[in-house]
């Protein structure tokens, strides 16, 4: 199942008036072909908020799976605005330096332990929404990554049980402002600029991803292929990430966790190749989907 959050009509705001709340104009749907089945239709009766849907557990997922067979209304995908599948995740956690060839291109040392940092939840945008170059830096870079979404509260989950707490997988672009990232050991601010967390286009439920470590991952800037990796090469695997993270903190439904980037990022070139206004970044993961975002200059969006 491919689960989406969408705004309808398409000109509906992609930002709620109060960013800490969901917008009433947002709905949750399941994608079938080039249509989206509205799960808030009374025939299905599910909530319009992805986190609430995930909290509904297996019962809600079964109803969502059956929705295409009901009379629930369908809308052409082209007539809705897709948002990030979880527009305001409770947490966005990202692992750094998780592909050997990416470590080499950055000139860093291979970490002994999983290296985690936060992206602030306010940076999340959906496919099609613009990545903004900030006023304070030109060193803006892309990182195509496989991400997963937590489906139920998880605390002290051993690696062998990890898949049971994952709702599904999606695509993330871990946009990074390199000078801000490296001026502080936590990387936090350089990873958290508004619009620098594109996620989407949907969540592919875990039953449809038999092996998250056997997927091709490609990133294009405009029509130039920059990253051509495989998730097979991850140093720390998804299940090990869940074990370590949930040892420290409770993972909550809707948390987005991104698993690191293969080689080919802009800073790996000599000279570095930063994103500039007018570019388009497209991240494609086999069996998951394609996340595409235009790049705009400072102040070109309402944010
Ligand atoms: Zn990253």
| CATH number of the domain residue 122 falls in | 3.90.850.10
Quick one: 192 and 139 in the same domain?
A: yes
Section 138-145 average pLDDT: 98
For residue 195, the CA-to-ligand 1 centroid distance in Å is 15
Centre of ligand 1 from the C-alpha of residue 259, in Å: 7
What is the C-alpha separation between 296 and 301, in angstroms, rounded?
A: 8
Whether 275 and 171 share a structural domain = yes
Query: Is residue 158 located within the same domain as residue 239?
Result: yes
Report pLDDT for 299. Answer: 74
Identify the pLDDT of residue 260.
Answer: 98
185 and 104 in a common domain? yes
Closest-CA residue to 202 (of 119, 120, 291, 129): 291
Asked whether the predicted pLDDT for residue 11 surpasses 50, the reply is yes
Is 303 part of a structural domain of the chain? no
224 Cα to the center of ligand 1, angstroms: 20
Cis peptide before 124 (omega within 30 of 0): no
In the structure, what pLDDT confidence band is assigned to residue 246 with cuts at 50, 70 and 90? very high
- Same domain? For 78 and 219 the reply is no
Look at residue 178 in the predicted model and tell me its pLDDT.
97
User: What is the sign of the dihedral through the CA atoms of 194, 199, 200 and 204?
Assistant: negative
Domains in the chain: how many in total?
A: 2
Q: How far is the CA of 244 from the centre of ligand 1 (A)?
A: 18
How far is ligand 1, taken at its centre, from the CA of residue 123, in Å? 14
Coil, strand or helix at 172: strand
Do 160 and 237 lie in a common domain? Answer: yes
At 218, give phi and psi (nearest 5°).
-130, 140
Distance (Å) from CA 90 to ligand 1 centroid: 18
User: What's the gap in Å between 260 CA and the centre of ligand 1?
Assistant: 4
Burial environment of residue 76 by CB neighbours within 10 A (0 to 12, 13 to 18, 19 or more):
exposed
Residues linked to residue 131 through DSSP beta bridges, in sequence order: 295
Cα 85 to middle of ligand 1, angstroms:
19
In a domain, 301, yes or no: no
Q: Give residue 78 CA to ligand 1 midpoint distance, Å.
A: 30
Using the mean position of ligand 1's atoms as its centre, give its distance from the Cα of residue 69 in Å: 39
Q: Which domain holds residue 292?
A: 92-296
CA of 190 to the centre of ligand 1 (A): 11
Ligand 1 centre from 298 Cα, in Å?
Answer: 23
The per-residue pLDDT for 303 is: 46
Give 151-194 pLDDT, tens digit per residue.
999 999 999 999 999 999 999 999 999 999 999 999 999 999 99
Structure tokens given for 105:
């291109």
Q: How far, in Å, is the centroid of ligand 1 from the Cα of 145?
A: 7
- In this model, does residue 31 exceed pLDDT 50? yes
pLDDT digits (tens, 9 = 90+) for 99-137: 999 999 999 999 999 999 999 999 999 999 999 999 999
């Amino acid at each position: 199942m491919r689960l989406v959050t969408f705004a309808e009509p398409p000109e509906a705001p992609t930002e709620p008036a109060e960013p800490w709340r969901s917008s009433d104009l947002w709905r949750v749907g399941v994608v079938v072909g080039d249509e989206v089945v509205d799960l808030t239709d009374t025939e299905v009766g599910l909530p319009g908020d992805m986190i609430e849907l995930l909290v509904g557990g297996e019962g809600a997922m079964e109803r969502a799976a059956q929705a295409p067979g009901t009379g629930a209304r369908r809308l052409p995908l082209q007539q809705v605005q897709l948002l990030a599948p979880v527009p305001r995740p409770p947490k966005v956690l990202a692992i750094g330096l998780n592909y050997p060839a990416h470590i080499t291109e950055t000139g860093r040392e291979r970490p002994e332990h999983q290296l985690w940092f936060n992206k602030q939840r306010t940076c999340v945008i959906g496919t099609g929404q613009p990545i903004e170059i900030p006023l304070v830096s030109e060193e803006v870079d892309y990182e195509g990554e496989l991400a997963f979404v937590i489906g139920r509260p998880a605390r002290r989950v051993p690696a062998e049980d990890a898949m049971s707490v994952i709702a599904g997988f999606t695509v993330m672009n871990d946009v990074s402002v390199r000078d801000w990232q490296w001026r502080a050991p936590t990387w936090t601010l350089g990873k958290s600029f508004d619009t620098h967390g594109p996620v989407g286009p949907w969540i592919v439920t875990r039953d449809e991803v038999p092996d998250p470590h056997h997927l091709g991952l490609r990133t294009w800037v405009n029509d130039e292929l920059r990253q051509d990796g495989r998730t097979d090469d991850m140093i720390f695997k998804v299940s090990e990430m869940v074990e370590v993270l949930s040892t420290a903190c409770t993972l909550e439904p809707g948390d987005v966790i991104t698993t690191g980037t293969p080689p080919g990022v802009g800073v790996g070139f000599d000279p570095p190749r930063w994103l500039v206004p007018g570019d388009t970044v497209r991240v494609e993961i086999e069996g998951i989907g394609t996340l595409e975002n235009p790049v705009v200059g400072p102040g070109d969006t309402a944010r």
